[in-house]
Structures are given as structure tokens and as C-alpha cells.
Structure 1
Amino acid sequence: MLLIYTGNGKGKTCACIGQTVRALGQGMEVAFGQFMKRDGQAGEQKMLSHLLGSRFLAAGEGFLRRGEDRIPHRNAALKTLDWAREHLTTVDMLILDETLYALNAGILTREEFESLIAESRAQNRHLVLSGRHAPDWLIESADIVTELREIKHAWHTGLKAALGIEF
């Protein structure tokens, strides 16, 4: 199955982590990769690394803020994509957090994702993708799409990101 967690609301990564825990609880093999995110920045990374070992990767360069940083971001995304393809052959479920960010930023291409989706289906593997702004072509090819919508967030009132809440 192809599952997508999208939308402008908080909780897409948390949904992916919940999917990881559920699959692990059923004895499934899971790999979890994060596009864009640097390792060691968020609490979930410590726990996923502990649970999954080498089946967890956060090799991103952070969020793309300047055009001149595109090449190192692309290289990091390709490293994560190669890692994902390697693990696709040995797991039941592959979860790729912030996939849609990498896609929408032009760091990875539609063709690269369509190829990964085709590989996951050919190998009968579950593929879980997350990020904002899921494109129509991806929604159409997915089996399950969940949109998380922001109704209210503390940062609008000037509160900074909170430890254990945002990271």
C-alpha cells in the first residue's frame, strides 16, 4: 500500500512514527528515513535510532532556505533515496518523512518518486510518505491519504518551538 500523510497541520511525522510502532508491534520489519531533517535534532530521532538501528536515517541538510544551497540538499536527498532503495528489499514497510518537501522543493523529481513507488509495489512493500502539499498525481496513486489541517498553533502568538512538542 501507498500511504500519505499531508497537510499544513502539525502531526505528519508523528503519524509516521505511529505507523512505525504499529507495524513493529505486528512483527513487521520497518525502515524510516527523513528527507531534509538533520540527525540529532529531534526527540523522535533518538527513539527511532534506538528502535531501528541502521534502519533509521536522517541525513538531510535542514530545510532549504537559499537557492545556492540546492546542490548539497540534492546530494543529501539522493543519499537518502539510495538508502531507501537498499532497504526496500529487506523490509515490509518503508517510511519516508518529508518526502513531499523534497519533491516540492525540486530536490528530488517526480520520476524518482514514481520509480520508488513502482519498486515498492513490485516488491509488495508498504510505502509511507509525508509532507505538505501532496500533488494530485501522488494522491491519485495512493491507497490512503490523510490530511492534517492546522486549526490553531501557538507559534502564531509568538511562542517558540517547544521541546518534546515540535522537536
Structure 2
Amino acid sequence: MLLIHTGNGKGKTTASIGIAIRALGQQMRVGFGQFMKRDGQAGEQNMLKQLLNDNFHAEGLGFFTREEDRKIHAAAAEKLVSWASAKLENLDLLVLDEALYALGCGLVSQAQLQGLIDKAGACGTHLVLSGRGLPGWLEKQADTVTEMTEVKHAYKSGVPATRGIEF
């Protein structure tokens, strides 16, 4: 199955982690890769490393905000694509967090992402993708798409990102 968590609201990564935990509870082999996010920044990374060992990989350099940093961000994304491709045949479920963000920024190409989707299908591996900006070509292929919609967010009221809640 190809599952996608998208939208402008909170919860895409959290929902993806939930599926990973559920799969682990069913003794499935799980991998979890993060585009964009720096290793060691978020609480979920500490737990995922403990649960998944080498099947967890955060390759990001943070949000892509400066065009002059494109080459280093693209190189980091390429490393995660290679890691994911190498892991696929030995997993039952692979989560690629912020894959849509990396795609939308042009750090991952449609061909690269399609290659992972095709390989996951050939291996019988469930694939979960998250991030904002779901393109139509990908929505058509997905088995399940969940859109997170922001109704209200504390940040807009001046509350900074909260440890354990946002990271």
C-alpha cells in the first residue's frame, strides 16, 4: 500500500510514527527515513533510533530556505533516497517523512520518488510518505491519502514551538 499524510496542519509526522509503531506491534520490519530534518533535533528521533536502530535515518539539513544551499540539501536528499532504496527489500513498511516537501523543493525528483514507489511495490513493502504539497500524479497512485487541516495553531498566537509537542 501507498499511504500519504499531507496538508497544512500538524500531525503528518505523528501519524506516520503511529503507523510505524502499529507495524512494529505486529512484528513487521519497519524503516523510517526523514528528509529535511536534522538528526538529533526532535524527540521522535531518539525513540525511533532505539526502536529501529539502523532502520532509522535522518539525513536532512533543516528547512531549505536559501537557494545557495541547494547543492548540499540535494546531496543530503540523494543520500536518503539511496538509503531507502537499499533498505526496501528487507522491510515490510518504510516511512519517508517530509518526502513531499523535498519533492516540492526540487531536492528529490519525480523520477526518484517514483523509483522508490515502484521498488516498494515490487518488494511488497508498504510505503508511507508525508509532507505538504501533494502533487496530483502522486495522489492518483496512493491507496490512502489523509489531509491534515489546521484549524488553530498556538504558534500564531505567539507561543513558540514546544519541546515534546512540536519537536
Q: d(CA) in 1 for partners of 2:124 and 2:20?
A: 17
* 1:111 equivalent in structure 2: 111
Residue 26 of structure 2 corresponds to: 26
Shift of 1:124: 1.0
Return the offset for 1:41.
Answer: 0.4
Matched, 1:44 2:44: yes
Structure 1: 4+ residue segments shifted above 3 A: none
Distance 1:122 1:89 in 2: 9
Whole-Å separation in 2 of the counterparts to 1:86 and 1:94: 11
- Cα distance in structure 1, aligned partners of 2:117 and 2:61: 24
Other structure's SS at 2:90 match: coil
Quote the Cα distance in structure 2 between the aligned partners of 1:106 and 1:145.
22
1:87 and 2:96 are equivalent in the alignment:
no
Q: Which residue matches 1:67?
A: 67
Using the TM superposition, give the Cα deviation of residue 108 of structure 1 relative to its aligned residue in structure 2, in angstroms: 0.7
Return the offset for 1:89. 1.0
The C-alpha deviation readout for 1:80-99, integer Å capped at 9, x for no partner, is: 00000011011100100000
1:151 corresponds to which residue? 151
For 1:95, the aligned partner's letter is: V
Normalising by structure 1, report the TM-score.
0.99
Which residue is equivalent to 1:124? 124
Q: Following the alignment from structure 2 to structure 1, what is the Cα–Cα distance between the partners of residues 123 and 40? A: 31
* Structure 1 gap segments, 5+ residues each: none
Query: 1: distance between equivalents of 2:22 and 2:66?
Result: 37
Matches of 1:118 and 1:41 in 2, distance apart? 31
RMSD, aligned CA: 0.5
Shift of the alpha carbon at 1:16? 0.6
Gaps of 5+ in 2: none
Q: How far 1:120 moved relative to its partner?
A: 0.7
- C-alpha deviation, 1:158, in angstroms: 1.0
CA deviation after TM superposition for structure 1 residue 37, in Å: 0.4
Determine the C-alpha separation between the residues in 1 that align with 2:88 and 2:116: 9
Letter in 1 for 2:115: S
Counterpart CA distance in 2 for 1:82 and 1:69 is 20
1:135-146 matched pairs, under 5 angstroms: 135-146=135-146
Can you list the C-alpha shifts for 1:58-99, whole angstroms capped at 9, x where unaligned?
A: 011111010000000000000000000011011100100000
SS at match of 2:3: strand
